[in-house]
Amino acid sequence: MPSTVSEPRTGVRAGPPPPPAPPRTRADRYERPALVCIAALAALLFCWGIDHSAYHAFYASAVRSMTDGPLAFLYGSFDPAGSITLDKLPGFLWPQALSALVFGFHPWALVLPQAVEGVACVLLLHLVVRRWAGVPAGLAAAGFLTLTPVTVGVGRSVVEDAPFVLLLLLAAEATWRATERARPRTLLLAAFWVGLAFQCKMLESWAVLPALAVTYMVAAPAPARRRAGHLALAGAVTAAVSLSWMLVATLTPAASRPYLDGTTDNSAFGMVVGYNFLTRFHTVGIDGAGTGSIVTGRPAHPGGAHALGMGDSVWKMFSPGIATQTGWLYPLAALGLVGGLVALRRRRVPRTDRLLAGHLLWGVWLATFFVVFSFGSVTGHTYYMGVVAVALSALAGAGLVQGWRALRAGGRTAWLLPAVLAVNVAWCAALTLCYPRFFGWSAPAAGALGLAGLALTGVRRGRAVTAGTAVAVAAVLLVPAVWSASALSPRYNQPGGFGRVGPNSIRTGTALSALTPARHRLLAYLTAHRDGARYLAAVPSWTSAAPYVIAADAPVLPVGGFTGRVPFPSPRQLGRLVDSGRLRFVLLRPSDVVAHPRAGRTPAGAVARWTVDHCTRVPPAAYGEHGRRHLLYRCGPEHTG
């Protein structure tokens, strides 16, 4: 209907009026102080002890190299000479490299951006959920996310998921605003954020597109044809921004950029589509070998997926290895999703209803990532679940508020929230029993609190119901809060590591980030005899190169990439480097030399075979080598003299 209020003419057609905002309540007065407290708690959990951070040797080497120049920064070069990249897109390391440029190259300077991004995720989730389900639900969602162990672990790590989750939340916030008034420009902003998220985790970022597209297509107040057109345009923007790095790498001559790790043909397509996507779904019969990517098997180390009970199947997300990091609130989130949809169906709300839009956004978000991670191999890295924790927290916050209101109103659904809270306490206790030596007191304490809360809610009086609900929620949060707080101890979480919190946390150590006396002596010898070469030496693996890159920013040439199976540098390329004077030394492992007759089967072995045939071994005493850990060879026209 036309408005009865006279408005100034601006020359811009007004769109449909936005849906009415949820009515303000007394909780609004406490919103800002409560949010400040939640953000402060998040900052404490993320930042405590980061001055004792350790280097993640692979990523730290790349960050150190990326601070050396624009080309290394753009491509995410692993080594200072810009020879080979990371085995993934470098967008998630750009904030860390900028932090290292500002604060200096220190372990804590690499963790700091993740902590800031983690706090921003908490605040942004509150904003989106507040617009959807009101202030109490927004605060509850922010609190739930803060106390989820995977969130704490990601905020204290250097892995990809802190910037990735933040960018997806920015896309969700922009989509929400676009949906309210069917604004295509705001929808394009959401597409831009998804494209940036692609630079962090590649095709995984596109898993959020169904949630954003369904929300806009169903709930935006515009004709179906216009909505479809807006989504098509947004899809084009998403593709353009997402593929921009790949396009630049493809159009740049191979000699003018680093070799793309994870590939057999130095192609961006092989790295992104094959190595980092198709090979993750080998359990369902997908083979990425034809894409030009390196195909690797399952990891056999103790931190692998099977060791944590996380084999690829529909039950993976309920296994203790993952659920203890991100799945504490499954029952409460199920109440928020299923209960909310049932209530909306009974009310027969219009398609543009605000509550329906929120349930579509978070429900499809959760379902999509749930299925992707169930069948996609995450190789034991639970930090992938940070994006799942966002949807769980949003739905759990909405479910809690919805159930609390039903409880206070009485009627047939008043029992629902106490029942779900009881199930949630039992679920938390069951997960705790899988680790009986890790704060075992938390399970009985949660049970006692839960019983007290349920007893109070049975009184059926206003204050008693409120107090009982608060106590029951505290019982649900007790165990995940204990797990999250354990990150403050270096025994259960190492800042700068893999982001796992609790008894199975994985320490990165310092062996690959420090120069031992033997490495110091070798570095001094190589520097003194460099003779203007671009590289100090070619080394047999990235693990051999990392100490020299991290500690000394030394231009060494790693062989074989991250997996050790990348055919770079080939013996022919090595020969050209030697002939041009850009390389004079090659460092070999004794095992590669002993296996010399069969060495051609691996890149390091092929390099070892060429080196033994064309170069002269340097006496170990010359560079202070007293054992046989490494063998140094000098190559080039002068090596016989």
pLDDT at 179: 97
Which range (85-99, 328-342, 426-440, 456-470) has the least confidence? 456-470
* 409 or 119, which is more confident: 119
Which residues, 6 or more positions from 12, have their beta carbon under 8 angstroms from its beta carbon?
Answer: none
* 19 or 575, which is more confident: 575
Which range (73-87, 290-304, 413-427) has the least confidence? 290-304
- The pTM assigned to this predicted structure is 0.91
Secondary structure of residue 84 in the 3-state scheme: strand
pLDDT at 292: 79
pLDDT at 7: 38
In the chain, the largest separation of any two C-alpha atoms, in whole Å, equals 97
* 589 or 223, which is more confident: 223
Query: Is a pLDDT exceeding 70 seen at residue 626?
Result: no
pLDDT digits (tens, 9 = 90+) for 482-511: 999 999 998 999 899 888 999 988 777 677
Which range (68-77, 294-303, 334-343) has the least confidence? 294-303
DSSP state, residue 627: S
Backbone angles phi, psi at 492, to 5 degrees: -115, 0
Of the pLDDT bands very low, low, confident and very high (cuts 50, 70, 90), residue 280 is confident
Q: Structure tokens of 28?
A: 């609004």
pLDDT at 206: 97
Q: Would you list the domain boundaries of the chain?
A: 26-54+87-297+320-398, 415-488, 517-640
C-alpha dist (Å) from residue 127 to 135, 142, 162: 9, 9, 18
pLDDT at 486: 95
pLDDT at 641: 38
Share of the chain above pLDDT 90, in %: 73
* 282 or 376, which is more confident: 376
Question: Residue 574 belongs to what H/E stretch?
Answer: helix 571-579
Report, as an integer, the average pLDDT of 520-548: 95
Of the pLDDT bands very low, low, confident and very high (cuts 50, 70, 90), residue 9 is very low
Taking only Cα atoms into account, the Rg of the chain, rounded to an integer number of angstroms, comes to: 28
Which range (185-189, 347-351, 575-579, 597-601) has the least confidence? 597-601
Listed residue (626, 493, 525, 638) closest to 578, CA to CA:
638
Q: Structure tokens of 15?
A: 């769109």
pLDDT at 27: 65
C-alpha dist (Å) from residue 391 to 38, 145, 184: 18, 9, 25
Which range (111-115, 478-482, 637-641) has the least confidence? 637-641
Greatest mean pLDDT among 93-97, 299-303, 452-456, 617-621: 93-97
For the stretch 340-356, what's the b/e string if a residue is b when 16 or more beta carbons lie within 10 angstroms of its beta carbon?
A: beeeeeeeeeeebbbbb
Residue 265 CB-density burial (10 A; 0-12 exposed, 13-18 middle, 19+ buried) = middle
Q: Across all residues in the chain, what is the average pLDDT? A: 89
pLDDT at 627: 63
C-alpha dist (Å) from residue 611 to 572, 589, 606, 608: 11, 12, 9, 5
Residue 531 CB-density burial (10 A; 0-12 exposed, 13-18 middle, 19+ buried) = exposed
pLDDT at 301: 40
pLDDT at 14: 43
Give dist(CA 575, CA 607) in Å, integer.
Answer: 10
Query: Is a pLDDT exceeding 70 seen at residue 439?
Result: yes
Of the pLDDT bands very low, low, confident and very high (cuts 50, 70, 90), residue 302 is very low
Beta bridge partners of 616: 634
pLDDT at 3: 38
Of the pLDDT bands very low, low, confident and very high (cuts 50, 70, 90), residue 220 is very high
Task: Give the CA-trace dihedral at 447, 449, 455, 460, to 10 degrees.
Answer: -130
Q: What is the DSSP string of 398-467?
A: HHHHHHHHHHHH-STTTTHHHHHHHHHHHHHHHHHHTSTTSSTTHHHHHHHHHHHHHHHHTT--HHHHHH
pLDDT digits (tens, 9 = 90+) for 10-58: 333 444 555 555 555 566 788 999 999 999 999 999 999 999 999 999 9
Secondary structure of residue 538 in the 3-state scheme: strand
* 18 or 202, which is more confident: 202
Neighbour count for residue 245 (Cβ, 10 Å): 21
Place of tokens 């997908």: 286
pLDDT at 29: 83
Give dist(CA 223, CA 188) in Å, integer.
Answer: 18
Report, as an integer, the average pLDDT of 548-571: 95
pLDDT digits (tens, 9 = 90+) for 306-362: 445 555 677 889 999 999 999 999 999 999 999 999 988 888 889 999 999 999 999
176, 132 in Cβ contact below 8 A?
yes
Query: Is a pLDDT exceeding 80 seen at residue 378?
Result: no
pLDDT at 588: 93
Task: Give the CA-trace dihedral at 279, 566, 90, 287, to 10 degrees.
Answer: -10
Give dist(CA 381, CA 248) in Å, integer.
Answer: 30
